[in-house]
Structure 1
């Protein structure tokens, strides 16, 4: 798929892999709509865009905000070729210590945010008979670890939603892609791990955001079904799926670093 003149909406584009992915898409000729809650942060990201760019104030946790934002995009461009559902956050805490309200809010943003944005574009993509929906999940959606009960649950939900949606849309010419990265060196951890304990334990394993953004752009161009990063983690996930009880015992000390 050539990206020239394609209209691509990227949520959570104010920083991290969302911002970098948007800039790389712009370099390849796409018309990129960068969306996030903070217009101030989006303005900073927009200075690095090579091609046409629009900023969109969007709160994926609010029905009205999502509906209004996507109506604005359709009104201006008439269509959306690709949606990158990247908005989300995480907090690492033991289940008994995390308030139920935090479980609900994380699910509202990480999972329901994707549902809202996807439902907003689906009628237009189905009418066009084409489109790509990229949902950024996580390796945490395939393998749970200590202090990730809330976050992992949201990403498991994203994967279940994406896999089912792919089957629904197979005959409509719409591709559904999931991106499952391991830990990335981004501002994500300023909320998820404010004390830096987890980051210090996995520095050797953390990926540069440029690597993940490049993989996301490639997935769009090649219409890939799934991308798992890094390869070492992807191999571990396969082992876990085949031998879950054994993998749990082997991985306990290695993965529970929070």
Structure 2
């Protein structure tokens, strides 16, 4: 049990499915009050109902398209009007598409940056004054191992996650004085609905097999560090080791890993 979360409001984006949905369950299991944000109102309603049924925790939800920056502003104003204090922000919303760079439609590139990066930045910026009202608060940004080591057919997705990591590292230093910690979660592939759009062939998840992470495991690891000064959580260990080696020996790793990298 993470005692820091007891009766704390935790806003989670991308909460209608996948990792975001599992984060809602784990926050509630640890005594927190999830506030769910996503585009799909029916899925949000179902998730909120399930949280309340299983954990007897109040679970508010707000439909919001994170590529609509005006909608993000309206969301924050609504939260303020309803006097919803936010202690923890988990930016989990995002999507990818496994395509060669030259074949990725530019409108998809723009959408990916709008959701994965600009929407995250806009919501975070709007909520910083709200978080400042707490004695201690926490921002958790779900990035990716792809943001530490880019591979073929994920150029745009990797670029968005590199941006999230860079933004988070600078933000951590800026917010240190107001005691708002910033943590980056860098998971490898997670067996969720993410791949229904990212890889419609279904081949990638099959190729990584047992190395694919379970969303519940990632959610538990994430919730465990809320309220701490942890900088990063990197999963799985094997992929984290490869990404560290890549920082030291990029040419060698690209040569040795070429066959595996091309499996997407």
What range is the shorter-chain TM-score in? over 0.9
Q: 1:231 aligns with which of 224, 227, 237?
A: 237
- Kept in 2, the 8 Å contact 1:111–1:154? The answer is yes
Q: 1:160 aligns with which of 166, 184, 208?
A: 166
Q: 1:133 aligns with which of 128, 139, 144?
A: 139
Give the unaligned 5+ runs of structure 2: none
- Kept in 2, the 8 Å contact 1:74–1:80? The answer is no
SS at match of 1:203: helix
Query: Relative to structure 1, is the Cα distance of residues 223 and 63 closer, same or farther in structure 2, using a 3 angstrom cutoff?
Result: same
CA RMSD of aligned residues (A): 1.3
Looking at structure 2, the residues matched to 126 and 46 of structure 1 have their Cα atoms a distance apart, in angstroms, of 27
TM-score by length of 1: 0.96
Between 220-229 and 181-190, the greater mean CA deviation after superposition: 220-229
Indicate the residue corresponding to 2:24 in structure 1.
22
Quick check: 1:209 aligned with 2:209?
no
Shift of 1:202: 1.1
Quick check: 1:6 aligned with 2:8?
yes
Query: Relative to structure 1, is the Cα distance of residues 78 and 205 closer, same or farther in structure 2, using a 3 angstrom cutoff?
Result: closer
- Kept in 1, the 8 Å contact 2:87–2:134? The answer is no
Could you list the per-position Cα deviations for residues 171-220 of structure 1 after superposition, in whole angstroms to 9, with x for gaps in the alignment? 11010010000001000000000111212211221111111111111121
SS at match of 2:159: helix
Looking at structure 2, the residues matched to 99 and 16 of structure 1 have their Cα atoms a distance apart, in angstroms, of 25
Q: 1:93 aligns with which of 89, 99, 106?
A: 99
TM-score by length of 2: 0.94
Indicate the residue corresponding to 1:122 in structure 2.
128
Shift of 1:62: 0.9
